[in-house]
Amino acid sequence: MWNQNFMFTQTGAMPIDKNENELFHDIPQVMDSATLNGERYISVWVQGEEENGKPVMYTNIYARTAILDIGRQAGLLQPLQGRSHQIKKLLSEAQKTWIREWLLKASAEAWENSDDSFKVIFEED
């Protein structure tokens, strides 16, 4: 299985240079965001089928919000959302456009082989 993670700041149009695992691996998780004062992120995971390490079809996309409070060394990762309408609402148009273009560049073949239910997430509202 092929997968790729993109971490966006909540309002960023391009992902940051770290992925979810790099940002949150060693950070204790809190139960709610009430005590956190930090940067807000959107984490997007794309999965697919691969051959020889290259994607040949994109199959799933998941997204979630996250907060990282550097001062307290604590974070909160919300549960992953996998429904198309939830992801479309969570991502900005600029974020959807960036991901779609990245996926096309990574493998136009995988994009073409993907189901319409996957592609519809990246259509403009």
What is the amino acid identity at position 12?
G
What whole-number distance in Å separates Cα of residue 57 and Cα of residue 44? 17
Residue ranges of the chain whose pLDDT lies below 50: none
- In the prediction, which pLDDT does 109 show? 96
The predicted-structure confidence for 33-46, as pLDDT tens digits, reads as follows 777 888 999 999 99
**Helix (H, G, I), strand (E, B), or coil: what is residue 113?**
helix
Q: What is the pTM of this model?
A: 0.91
Q: Percent of the chain scored above 90 by pLDDT?
A: 73
- In the prediction, which pLDDT does 124 show? 77
> Which two tokens mark 24?
């949150």
- In the prediction, which pLDDT does 31 show? 77
Average pLDDT, the chain: 92
